[in-house]
Amino acid sequence: YSQKNFEEELAGWEKEGKPIVMTEYGADTKAGIHKLPSVQWSEEYQNEYLELQHQVFDNCDSIVGEQMWNFADFQTVEGILRVDGNKKGAFTRDRQPKMAAHLLKARWE
């Protein structure tokens, strides 16, 4: 998902002239996986994905709020699109912070 595509999508929503609250955005990551350059499922990838989305939000005047999906990882039925549950949280199931938790803390301070 490119920044350009996301900007174009938001521009379409912005034409409605209504405030936008972005919810349920983010990327899956398996806690403890670190790799540079980032790869899918790494904590670095989740941070880069969130940073890209935040840049787009910050450039869209209609965005009045945001809440990523999800506060913490949770168990779901396993499938080929999920590694051991839903891992989009800023915290693990045991409430240990991932890199994303620190990114969000800095953003919201």
pLDDT digits (tens, 9 = 90+) for 5-25: 999 999 999 999 999 999 999
Rounded mean pLDDT of the chain?
A: 93
Q: Omega of the bond prior to 37 within 30 degrees of 0, cis?
A: yes
Locate 7 and state its tokens: 């900007």
**Domains in the chain: how many in total?**
1
pTM above 0.85, yes or no: yes
Q: What are the phi and psi torsion angles at 23 (to 5°)?
A: -130, 165
Bridge partners of 82, per DSSP, are 79
Rounded Cα distance, 56 and 74, in Å: 27
Host domain of residue 67: 3-108
